[in-house]
């Protein structure tokens, strides 16, 4: 029915499968292929805040540790998409990503030389791991507000449904786990 779109989709899927930093997942129920970027490297950071270290401070520092690596991978993906005939302005796509990198879910439209349009969606999950989060999280200055949003599963604090409402960074879906 849409031969140019089918050809474009097959080209995008083939080129992205060749991208060594992605893990494709085929969702046959929704007729889509999802490309998952690898988790950022494990980083250790020890800080001694003078006063009032909140969950938002923790999320900001965690996000800063991995944002450069994720931006580089996203730029490589955009270059692969350009090879498939994208006519959208690359600088606008990269600035869109920079502005929306703190949102849990965002999407934009990409236009191609065939006249086709493809939606690009980016989903961000942030995982914060601690040695013993029962004591680590209680040290946060806003723990009294945060604990109403958490559930304990297998001795771990987690967010099961919606992320905590008091997170200022567009709700990054933090998950907490003991190691």
122 domain-assigned: yes
Local mean pLDDT, 10-residue blocks, the chain (179 residues): 75 82 78 74 74 81 79 86 88 86 79 86 74 75 80 73 51 39
109 domain-assigned: yes
Helix (H, G, I), strand (E, B) or coil at 151: strand
> Do 167 and 144 contact (CB within 8 A), yes or no?
no
74 domain-assigned: yes
44 domain-assigned: no
Rounded to whole angstroms, the Cα distance separating 87 from 13 reads 18
Query: What confidence score (pLDDT) does residue 179 get?
Result: 37
Query: What confidence score (pLDDT) does residue 163 get?
Result: 56
Query: What confidence score (pLDDT) does residue 165 get?
Result: 54
43 domain-assigned: no
Residue 54, Cα to own-chain centre: how many angstroms?
Answer: 21
Query: What confidence score (pLDDT) does residue 133 get?
Result: 66
62 domain-assigned: yes
156 domain-assigned: yes
Tell me the two tokens of residue 71: 């931006």
Q: Domain range spanning residue 174?
A: 3-37+49-178
* Number of Cα atoms under 13 Å in the Cβ half of residue 143: 12
In sequence order, the β-bridge partners of residue 111 are 117
Query: What confidence score (pLDDT) does residue 160 get?
Result: 65
Query: What confidence score (pLDDT) does residue 162 get?
Result: 58
Query: What confidence score (pLDDT) does residue 167 get?
Result: 52
Query: What confidence score (pLDDT) does residue 164 get?
Result: 57
pTM of the full structure: 0.69
User: Measuring CA to CA, which residue among 171, 34, 32, 39 is closest to residue 105?
Assistant: 171
Domain count, the chain: 1
Query: What confidence score (pLDDT) does residue 168 get?
Result: 45
Helix (H, G, I), strand (E, B) or coil at 126: strand
94 domain-assigned: yes
Tell me the two tokens of residue 157: 């604090």
């Amino acid at each position: 029915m849409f031969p140019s779109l089918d050809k474009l989709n097959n080209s995008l899927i083939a080129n992205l499968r060749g991208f060594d930093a992605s893990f494709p997942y085929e969702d046959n129920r929704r007729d889509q292929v999802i490309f998952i970027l690898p988790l950022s490297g494990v980083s250790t950071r020890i800080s001694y805040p003078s006063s009032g270290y909140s969950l938002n401070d923790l999320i900001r520092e965690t996000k800063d540790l991995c944002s450069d690596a994720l931006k580089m991978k996203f730029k490589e993906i955009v270059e692969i998409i350009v090879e498939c005939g994208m006519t959208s302005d690359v600088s606008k796509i990269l600035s869109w990503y920079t502005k929306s990198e703190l949102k849990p879910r965002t999407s934009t439209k990409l236009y191609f030389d065939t006249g086709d349009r493809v939606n690009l969606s980016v989903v961000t999950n942030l995982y914060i791991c601690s040695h013993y989060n029962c004591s680590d999280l209680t040290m946060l200055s806003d723990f009294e507000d945060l604990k109403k949003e958490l559930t304990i599963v297998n001795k771990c604090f987690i967010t099961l449904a919606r992320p905590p409402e008091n997170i200022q960074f567009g709700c990054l879906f933090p998950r907490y786990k003991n190691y």
